[in-house]
Chain A
Amino acid sequence: MLILSCPCCGVSAEETEFTPGGEAHLKREGPGSEDAAFRDYLFQRKNPKGVHFERWRHAFGCGKWFHAARCTVTLEVFCTYTAQTANVPKEVIDTIKLRRPEWELNQ
């Protein structure tokens, strides 16, 4: 069971109040892109063992989307942050490194 804090309304609640939205920070491959790139955009997901970035929606609460950084092994939630960002913000990376010093983004 995850406890997530919605950055849009400030509520901390368990995961049944939220809806998972899959991997975060995907780059859309639209018209004009290679078939292989489009295929990977649609179907290829990272599924890492360890730090993972995810989209979540506070479906039963304020209804807003946000991002969460968590560990897929221990289920520790490092932090949640705004969905209005294309890349992982530096403060999020710093927060994760406090808990996982050996971890690197895009490893």
Chain B
Amino acid sequence: MSETVQVARLNSRGMITLKGDLADQDFQDVAVKITGLSFPSQREIRLSGEMGLAWMAADEVLLMLPVEDVSAAIETADEMLRRAPAVVANVTDARVLFSLKGKRSREVLAKLAPVDLSREAFQPGQIRRTRLAQVAAAFWMPQEAQFEIMCFRSVADYVTELLEMSAAPGTVPEYF
């Protein structure tokens, strides 16, 4: 019997979607200035406390920051991105976050997502957008044996039940 994996819903974190030309220096500067983190390459995420900067697509990054700092950050971004076409959107209320903690969290998530979650394939520093059973989600590892999972608020109840079911004691294999 392995030790249990803890599922928890995290407090809201401020989230800003930035869409534009990722190679553009101004665009990178905005993301770096707001989060204080280095600009991520493909499928990478930078984290530090409540701050986060994630590569979401070839034309999109996600900024994570304390909720109270969002409006100031959007003003900064709007100001700095005047020259180039870009989208700055406050998506704080669109999404919710969960955490998985425990030695077997890789197994709990692997039961739900069609992703190779072995230690060689998925490591802290990477972000993966995929599906959890029937809904879209993204996850990353703040550190080994720990995941943070992001999904749309409209499916938060569904994902809560999924994760709790997948982490139910006695159902988690020792695979990875």
- Which chain A residues have a beta carbon within 8 Å of chain B's beta carbons? 8-11, 13-14, 16-17, 59-64
**Would B57 and A9 count as touching, CB distance under 8 A?**
yes
Q: Main SS of the interface on chain A?
A: loop
**Would B58 and A9 count as touching, CB distance under 8 A?**
yes
A14 nearest in chain B by CB position:
B114
A9 to B130, CA, bound (A): 12
User: Using Cβ atoms and an 8 Å threshold, which residues of chain A touch B128?
Assistant: 11
**Would B136 and A60 count as touching, CB distance under 8 A?**
yes
**Would A9 and B114 count as touching, CB distance under 8 A?**
no
User: Using Cβ atoms and an 8 Å threshold, which residues of chain A touch B115?
Assistant: 13
Shortest CB distance A41–B (Å): 30
**Would B43 and A9 count as touching, CB distance under 8 A?**
yes
Q: A9-B43, A10-B42, A11-B43 are in contact. Are A17 and B131 (CB under 8 A)?
A: yes
Mark each residue of chain B from 78 to 120: 1 if its CB lies under 8 Å from any CB of chain A, else 0.
0000000000000000000000000000000000001100000
Q: A9-B43, A13-B114 are in contact. Are A60 and B129 (CB under 8 A)?
A: yes
Shortest CB distance A59–B (Å): 8
**Total count of chain B residues near the partner, CB < 8 A:** 13
Shortest CB distance A61–B (Å): 5
Shortest CB distance A6–B (Å): 10
A60 to B115, CA, bound (A): 12
Q: Residue B56 at the A interface, CB < 8 A? A: yes
Contact of B130 among A8, A10, A17, A64 (CB under 8 A): A17
User: Using Cβ atoms and an 8 Å threshold, which residues of chain B touch A63?
Assistant: 57
**Would B131 and A64 count as touching, CB distance under 8 A?**
no
**Would A61 and B42 count as touching, CB distance under 8 A?**
no
Q: A14-B114, A62-B58, A63-B57 are in contact. Are A9 and B131 (CB under 8 A)?
A: no
A9 to B42, CA, bound (A): 7
Shortest CB distance B133–A (Å): 10
B114 nearest in chain A by CB position:
A14
A12 to B131, CA, bound (A): 14
**Would B43 and A16 count as touching, CB distance under 8 A?**
no
A13 nearest in chain B by CB position:
B114
User: Using Cβ atoms and an 8 Å threshold, which residues of chain B touch A9?
Assistant: 42-43, 57-58, 129
A16 to B130, CA, bound (A): 10
A100 to B130, CA, bound (A): 33
User: Using Cβ atoms and an 8 Å threshold, which residues of chain A touch B58?
Assistant: 8-9, 62, 64
Q: A10-B42, A60-B130, A61-B129 are in contact. Are A17 and B57 (CB under 8 A)?
A: no
User: Using Cβ atoms and an 8 Å threshold, which residues of chain B touch A59?
Assistant: 136
**Would A61 and B130 count as touching, CB distance under 8 A?**
yes
Contact of B131 among A8, A10, A16, A62 (CB under 8 A): A16
Shortest CB distance A64–B (Å): 6
